[in-house]
Structure 1
Amino acid sequence: MIRFGLRLAVASGREAVARLVVIAAAVAVGVGMLLAVVAGTNAVDAQNARYAWLNTSLEPTTVDGNGPLWWLIRMDRYDGRAIVQIDVATIDGAAAPLPPGMSRLPGPGEYYVSPALADLIAKTPADQLGDRYVGRPAGTLGDAALPGPEALIAVVGHAPDELAGQPGARRVGSIMAVDPKDCERCYVGNGEDAIKMLLAIVGAAILFPLLILVAGATRLTAARREQRFAAMRLVGATPRQVSVISAVESTTSAVIGTVAGFGLYLAIRPAMLSIAFTLEPFHSADLALTPLDVLVVALGVPVLAALSARVAMRRVRISPLGVVRRVTPRPPTAWRLIPLLLGVLELVYFVGRRPPTSDQQIMAYISGILLMMIGLVIAGPWLTMTGSRLLALRSGRPATLIAGRRLADDPRAGFRAVSGLMLALFVTSVATGVITTIVAERGPGAGGAAFSNAVAVTFHEGPIQADRARLDGLSADLRAIPGTRSVTVVRENADFPSPAAELPGFVSCAVLAADPALGHCAPGAQVAQVADGLVDWRDNEDNALPWPTADIAPADLDALPVASIVVNTDGSTAALERARTELSAAFPFVRFAGTAGEWESDFTNTLVQWQRLANVVILTSLAIAGCSLAVSVAGGISERKRPFSLLRLTGVPLSVLRRVLILESAVPLLVVAVLAIGGGFLAAQLFLRSQFRYDLVTPHPAYYLIVGAGLIASLAIIASTLPLLGRITGPQTARNG
C-alpha cells in the first residue's frame, strides 16, 4: 500500500503532480517561517545571556563588601544610540574576576571598547565622543562580551581611590552569569516580560495563519481525492488501506515541503541577521536551531500532515457511497459569536481594573486578544453566511444570485479561503493601533522641542555644591559651542515634595526669560519652581502654562546646591554631543548627561522593538495569508470544474462564471476585512484604556498602505485564477467528469 500510495502521489497524472507541488510549496513556506520564528527565539535567548555580565554590580550574589574589583555601570549615548560604560578598578594585589571578551582588566588611564564603538570613535570628532575616554585604548572586546555585533560598550580603568565612594560603585567578587530575564534589578538586557510578550505576539500572529495555510493546502482537491478513494473502496479496498494510501500521499508532499522549508530558512537566514528584533542585530552563531528544534519540525510536520489526511478521508472510511450522497451542510448558528464576545468582555472587564503585576497583565491582555482571534475564526462562517444571504436577497443579476446562494450553502468553505488574511489584518490593526497611540502620547517629541534639544546633567544621587567661579567657567565653555542657545543652572528645592513645593528645582525668572523654549514665569514672579531638565511634563501644550512661582529671593539661589545643569541647543548632533562631552568631563562618575527624550529611551526603545517586530509580523502574516488564499481559490476551481462546465453547456457565458468566482471570493474577503480591522481597533482601544488610560490615535498612512496593499494583492490573486476557469470548464470536462 505504501508503494502504491507513492505511485499515486507522483505518477498518476498532471493533476497529482500539480497537487503535490502546491502542497509541498505551501508546507515549505510554513516550515520556513516556523523555523525562522524558532531560530529568532533562540537568538533572543542567546543574546540575553550575553547581556548578563554587564549587570554584575546589580545582582546581590556578585556584590561583596570586600570584593577585589570596584564596578560602576552607567548608560551613555551618542546620536540616539546607547553606550554602556563600565568603570572598573582593581584593588591592589587582588586577583580580580575577569569579564568575558577581555584578556585582562584595563588599568588606570586605559580602556577597552567594542569594535563598533572603536569604529564610531574613529569616525567622530573627538570633542563629540572620543574625549569622554581619557587615556589609551587597551584593546577591543571580544564577541563573548557583546550582545550583538553593533553593540557600543566601553570598559574604562581607574585607580581604586577614584571609584571608592562614588554613587553606584560596588565592590564585586564575581562576574554575573544570571540571565537578565531572571534578574529583577537588571536594566541592561531583555526583561522576562519582553521575552514573554515576544513569544506571545509571534505565536499568535504567525503560527495561527501558518496553521490555516497548512490546513488549506492539505485540503486541496479534497473532493476529487474522496471520489478516487471511494472507487477503491467499491472495488474491495479496506478502510485501513485507504487510510494508508491517503496518509502516504499527504506525507510525501509534507516531507518534500519540509525539506524545502529548511532550504527556505537557510536562504532567509542572512537577511534575519540584519533585523534588530531586540534593538541589537544578532550574532550569526546565536541565530541557530537546536537538534531538538530540527527533530521536532522534521518529524512533526509530516506526522501532522498524515493525521490531517486521515481526518479528511473519514467519510470514505465510513462508507464509499457517502461521498456521492452529498447534502448541503447545516448552516452555522449565531452561537459562534460567543467566543468573540467573551474576548471583548474580558478586555472590557479590565478597563479600570488593571491587574497589579506584569505577569497578570500579560495573562489578562494576551488571553483576551487570543480569545478574540479564536472567536473571529469561529464566527467567520456565520458572518459569511449572513453577508451572502443579504447578497442573494438584494441580487438582480445571475452572477450575484449564484454566488450568494453558493456561499449561503457552504459558508465554511468560503470563509476558509480568507481566514488567514483576516487574522493578518486583525494583528496588523492591534499592533499598529497600540504602537501609534503610545508613540503619540509618550514617544520622541511628545514634550516639545526642548524634549529632544535640551541636554542636562542631573545629579540624581544628590545635589552638589559648586562655587560660582567653576559654574561660570563651565557655562562659558558650553556657550562657546556652536548651536548652544542657553545654559541654565537649576538649584535644589529642598522642600520638594510638599504642598508648597510642586517641583524639585528653582530657576531665576531673569535667566529663564533668555530662552522661552524652556518655559516662562507668571507675571511679576522672580523665581520659578521647575522640573528636572526644565522639561514640562504637565499637560502644557506649547508652554502655555507658566512655571509655578517660588517663594524665594533671586539673591538666595547661589547658596543652594546645584540640582542640574541644562544646555538647550539647536538640536544638531554636533551641538548635543559636544555639550554632553563637556558635561561628562566636568562631572565624572555621575549619571551621563542626556535629553528628556533619552531618559524616556528605555520605553521608546521598547516601542521601536515592538514596531520592528510588528512590521515583520505584518509582512509575514500577509505573505502567509496570500498563500492561503491562492491555495484555497485554486483548489476551489479545480474541485468545481465539472459544475462550472455543466453551467457553460447550459448556455451560461464564461463572463458570468468569472463574476461568480470573483463575488464568491470578494464578499467573504471584504466582510472579514471590515470585521478584522474593527475588531483589531476595538482590542487596541480596550488595551490602551486599561493599561495607559489612552484613547486610540488614528494610525499613520503607512497602516492604510499596508492594508490596501494586502487587499489589492488578495484581489489580484483571485483575478489571476480567472484564466484557469476558461481552460478547465470546457465540454471535455463535463463529458469525462
Structure 2
Amino acid sequence: MTNWLQDLAFGFRLAVTGHRPWGRLVVTALGIALGVAVLLGAAAVPNIHSARIERENMRDPVAAADAPGVGVLVANTPTLQFGDYFIQGLQLRDVRPDAPVAPGVARNPAPGEVAVSPALQELLRSPAGELLRPRLPAEITGVIGQQGLVGPGELFYYAGTDSLSPHSDQVNGVFDHFGETAAGRTELNDDLQLLLALAIAVLLVPIVVYVAATARLAEAARQRRLAAMRLVGATGTQVRRMAAGESLAGAVLGVALGWVLFELAKPAVDGISMSEFSLFSSDVRPVWWLASLVTIGIPALAALVTIVALRRSIAEPLQVTRRGTARPRKLLWRVAPVVVGLVGLVFIGLDGISGQPALWLFVVSVVLVLAGVPLVLPWCVERFAGRLGGGDSTAWQLAVRRLQSTSGTAARSVSSIAVVVTGVIALQTFLASAIASDASHASRPSVIASDASDVTQSSVRVVDSMTITGGLPEDPADVTQAVRELQALPGVLGARVMGSSVQATDDEYASWTVRVADCAQIHGLAAVPDCADGDVFAVTSDQRVDHLAGTTMHLIASYFGATSRPTPDRPVTWSVPGTVRLVESRLNVGRELMVTPAAAGVLLDTARQVDIEVELAPAVSPDVVERVRNIAAAHLVDPTTSNGMGSLGAIPDLNRDMAMAAVQVVLLTGALVLFALIGCSLFVAATEQIQERRRPLAVLGAVGVPRRTMAWSLLLQNAVPMLVATALAAVIGLLLGVPVVLIFSEGAVVLDVPGMLGLFAFAAASVLVVTALSLPAATRAARPDGLRTE
C-alpha cells in the first residue's frame, strides 16, 4: 500500500510541476467539472421527484367527508382549459372554527375568496388573462406559497365555498392537518418511468464516455514522460501508478469545480418552465449516496481508464512501442453490447412485461446500446480511414495519413458526440411518433349535415366544433340562456342542446352513456328514419340489440359537480323499456342509449349532465373559444369542453404531459450542456494533437508547406471522424428508437427529420468552430523555430 501511495503521489506531482503543466491540467479539470455538474443534477432527480410528490400529497386528502371530527371539506375542481394552459384547483369549506389550513396559505379562503399560485396570478394580470378571470369563482385574496405547489410554474388555486356536501362521493375531509391521511402517490406509472429512464440514460452515458475520454487527454506527452521514468529503472506497474496519479490530479480538481458549478447553476432552475413542468431550486438536492458515488467514482474512473490505456503502450522505454504498427481492431466483441441491448428492448416490446423487471431490463438495454457506440466507433474510423486514397491534394494526403496512424485518438475525440447523437435521435423518434399518434387520435373530423332528417341526401361539410359538457343548473332556463348567448357570439355559426345524460354500466360491467333527448335532438345525433316519444335507440358495435330491452342499467349519477349530485336515496338503477333500435351515430361515440322523455322515467331526475354542441366558423379566433368557455362556466355546473377536429384541444393526461414536458426540458438543457462538453472535448483533443505533432508541423513549415494547406488538413482531420460518428449514430439511434416506439405502443414510427438535420448541422458547425479555434496553435507549431524548441 505504501508503494501505491508513493507512486500515486509522484504522479500527482508530475501533473502540477514541470514545464507549463497548468494549461493542460485546467482544461482537463474544466471538462470533468462540466460532466460532474451534470451527474450531480441527475443524482438530484430522486429528491426532486419525491419533493414534488410529497407536496402534492399534502393537499390531497382522502378521509371520509362525513366522518366525525372532520375540520375541512375538500373537493377537486374540474380542470380549467385556457388556450394551451390547464388550471387545477381545490374547493375548501371550513367545518370547525379551528379548521386545518391548506398548505401554502396562512388561512383557508372564505366563501367568495380564492388564493392563487404566483404563476396563475401573473397570468391573470396579463392582457390575455382578462378572458380567464370570469371563470375563477371569487375575489383573489392570497397567493399560495411553495409548500402548496408542485412547481413554481404550476397554475393552481384554492377556492372557498359553503356549498360542499359531506354526503357527496367527490368530497373528502381533513381532520387535524392536510396530508395526514394522504394515500402517498410516490411513483409514476410504468410507461412514464420507462420514458424518464430513457431520457436520463441518453444524457448520462455520454457524460461517462466524456469523462473517460477526458482522462486520456495529453496521453502522448504523458507517455514520453513516463517512458523516461521507465528508462531510469521504474517498473511497468510503477509507471502505470504514476500515470494514474497524474489523472487523479485533473479529476480531483474537476470534481471540486463540478460541485462549484452545480451550486452556482441551481438558482437558474427556478426560471425553467415548460408546459406543466417546473422546478423549485430548493428541490435540487443530490441523493447523498449518489453524490458520494460521483465524487469518489469520477477520480477512480479516471485512474482506471489511464491504467488500462497505458497497460500496453509503455511496455518498452521511450517511444518504441508507441511508434510500432498497431494490430487491426476486432469487431465482434465491440458490437456485442449493441446487439444484446437491442435484443433486450425487442423482448420488452414483444413480451409486454411491466413493473420493476421491465424498468431494469429497459435501462440496462439502453445503456448497453449507448455504451456500445464508442466501442464500435474506433473500428469504423479505422476501416473508413484505411480505405481512403491518397489523392492529389497535399492537405488530403496529410489528413488521411494522420487518421490512418492515429485512428484511435480521432475516434475518442468524437465518441461523446456519437453517443449523444445516438440517444437524441432515439428520443426524437419516440417523441415524434407520440405526437403523431396523439394528433391522429385528436383529429377526427366533426361532420354536420345541413338536413339532419335525411342524411343520405344532405350535403355534408366538415367544420370546427366544440362540445360543452356540464352539470345541469338548478334552473333549466339557464341552459336555454347559455344557448342564446352562444348563438349571439361572433364566430359561432350555431349551438344546440344534445340532451342530458348519465353514465351507467350493464350487468356485464360494460360502460354506457344514457342520453335523454327529444326526437329533434336525436335526429341531429344519429341517422334515425323515424322517431316518436317513447322510443329508445342504441349506438353500439354489436349487430343485435334485442337483448337490451329490460336490461338493468346501474347509473353512475355522481358525475358532475361536488354540489349538484343526487343524494343516495335517489334511484341508482334504471331498466331499459320497450323495443331498442340500432342506429348509427353522426358523432364518434362508444356505447350509447338515446332515450326519449316518455321512456326515460327516473332518468329525468338522475341525468344531470347536459351536452351542448357549438359550431364554429373556420379559422375562428382563440378569443371566441375562450368566450364560449366563459358562457358555459356562467350557466352550467363544472363545465368542460372538447373539440370536434382537434384544433382546440381536449383536457390532456396531465401526468403523461408532465413527463413528456420533463423529458423535453431534460433533453433540451442536457443536450446544450453535452454539446458544450463535446465542443470542449473536440477543441482540447485537436490542441493536444497539435502539441504532439509540433515537430512534424515545424518540418512542414520549414520546407514551405502553405499555411492554408495545413488549415485544410486540420479541417479534414476533424471532419472525417465526425462524418463517421454521425453516420454510425444515425443508424444505431434509429435502431434504438424503433423498439422504444414499440414498447410504448405509439403506433407507426415517425422520423423527426428536421431534428436530425439540426443535430447534423451542429456536428458540421462544431468541426468548423474547433478548426478555427485550433488553427492559431497549429500556425505557431508550424514555425521553423519549432525544430529548435522541440
Aligned to 2:339: 341
Partner of 2:498: 490
Give the structure 1 partner of residue 19 of structure 2.
Answer: 13
Q: 1:475: which partner in 2?
A: 483
- For the residue of structure 1 that corresponds to 2:377, the secondary structure is helix
The answer on whether the counterparts of 1:52 and 1:178 sit within 8 Å (CA) in structure 2 is: no
The structural deviation recorded for 1:673 is: 0.7
1:566 is matched with 612
CA offsets, 1:391-428, max 9 Å, x none?
A: 24x85666556644554555332211111111121122
Q: TM-score, normalised by structure 1?
A: 0.80
What is residue 285 of structure 1 aligned with on the other side?
282
Task: Give a deviation string over 1:271-308, Cα, whole Å, max 9, x none.
Answer: 33211268343234223457767665555544544444
**1:153 shift after superposition:** 2.4
CA distance in 2, matches of 1:181, 1:626: 47
1:116 to 114, 119, 126: 119
1: CA distance, partners of 2:192 / 2:177: 23
1:276 alignment counterpart: 273
Aligned counterpart for 2:689 among listed residues 617, 627, 636:
636
CA–CA separation in structure 2 for the residues paired with 1:445 and 1:575: 24
Is the counterpart of residue 583 in structure 1 residue 632 in structure 2? yes
Q: Does the residue aligned with 1:273 lie in a helix, a strand or coil?
A: helix
* Structure 1 pair 363–316 and aligned structure 2 pair: CA distance change class (3 A): closer
Please list the CA deviations of residues 304-354 of structure 1 after superposition, one character each: whole Å capped at 9, or x if unmatched.
Answer: 444444445545875535755642232222202222222233333444433
C-alpha spacing 1:222/1:115, structure 2 compared with 1 (3 Å): closer
Q: Distance in 1 between matches of 2:11 and 2:337?
A: 40
- Could you tell me how far 1:650 is from its partner in structure 2? 7.4
Higher alpha-carbon deviation: 360-369 or 691-700: 360-369
Partner residue of 1:168? 170
Evaluate the alpha carbon distance shift between residue 565 and residue 164 of structure 1 in structure 2; reply closer, same or farther with a 3 A threshold. same
- The number of residue pairs the alignment matches comes to 704
Structure 2 match to 1:695? 748
Q: Deviations over 1:185-211 (max 9, x none)?
A: xxxxx7365884576345423322222
2:373 matches 1:371? no
Quote the Cα distance in structure 2 between the aligned partners of 1:325 and 1:119: 65
Q: Percent identity?
A: 26
Q: Give the match for residue 466 of structure 2.
A: 454
Listed one character per residue, the Cα deviations across residues 51-93 of structure 1 (whole Å, up to 9, x for unaligned) are: 1223222xx7x87843503221234223332322212233357
How many angstroms apart in 1 are the aligned matches of 2:691 and 2:721? 20
* CA spacing shift, 1:437–1:544, aligned 2, 3 Å: farther
Aligned twin of 2:60: 55
Q: State how far apart, in whole Å, the 1-side matches of 2:427 and 2:201 are.
A: 12
Q: 1:109·1:135 contact (CA, 8 Å) conserved in 2?
A: yes
| Contact 2:416/2:678, CA 8 A, preserved across alignment | yes
Q: CA RMSD in A?
A: 4.5
Determine helix, strand or coil for the equivalent of 1:55.
Answer: coil
Cα 1:591–1:229 shift into 2, 3 Å: same
Distance 1:9 1:162, change over 3 A: closer
- Residue of structure 2 in register with 1:23 after alignment: 28
What is the one-letter code of the residue matched to 2:147?
Answer: A
Counterparts of 1:65 and 1:696, CA distance in 2:
52
In structure 2, the residue matched to 1:433 is 429
> Does the CA contact (< 8 Å) of 1:131 and 1:581 recur in 2?
yes
Look up the SS of the partner of 2:173 in the other structure.
strand
Separation in structure 1 between the aligned mates of residue 197 and residue 659 of structure 2, nearest angstrom? 16
Give the counterpart of 1:330 among 324, 327, 330: 327
Q: Deviations over 1:79-122 (max 9, x none)?
A: 332322212233357x5443322333344444433343344445
TM-score (norm 2): 0.76
User: In 1, Cα distance between the equivalents of 2:724 and 2:518?
Assistant: 62
Deviations 1:472-514 (A, max 9, x none): 2332244344544433333448898899999765878966999
Q: What secondary structure is seen at the aligned counterpart in 2 of 1:489?
A: strand
* Aligned-residue offset at 1:608: 3.1
Question: 1:676 is matched with which residue?
Answer: 729
Q: Deviations over 1:141-166 (max 9, x none)?
A: 3321122233332222333x632333
Alpha-carbon separation, structure 1, partners of 2:204 and 2:509: 54
d(CA) in 1 for partners of 2:734, 2:763: 17
The answer as to whether partners of 1:71 and 1:89 remain within 8 angstroms in 2 is yes
**Structure 2 match to 1:423:** 419
Which of residues 61, 71, 94 in structure 2 aligns to 1:90?
94
User: Is the contact made by 2:203 and 2:667 (CA closer than 8 Å) also made in structure 1?
Assistant: no
Say if 2:159 is the partner of 1:156: yes
Residues 181, 191 of structure 1: 8 Å contact kept: no
Which one-letter code corresponds to 1:209 in the other structure? Answer: P
- Equivalent AA in structure 2 for residue 486 of structure 1: G
Match of 1:599 in 2: 651
Mapping 1:72-91, distance limit 5 Å: 72-77=75-80, 78-91=82-95
Q: C-alpha distance in 2, partners of 1:615/1:144?
A: 28
Higher share in strand: 2
* Gap change, CA 1:229 and 1:307, over 3 Å in 2: same
Maintained 8 Å contact 2:515/2:593: no
Q: Secondary structure at the match of 1:162?
A: coil
SS at match of 2:164: helix
2:434/2:746 contact within 8 Å kept: no
C-alpha change, 1:181 and 1:326, in structure 2 (3 Å) is farther
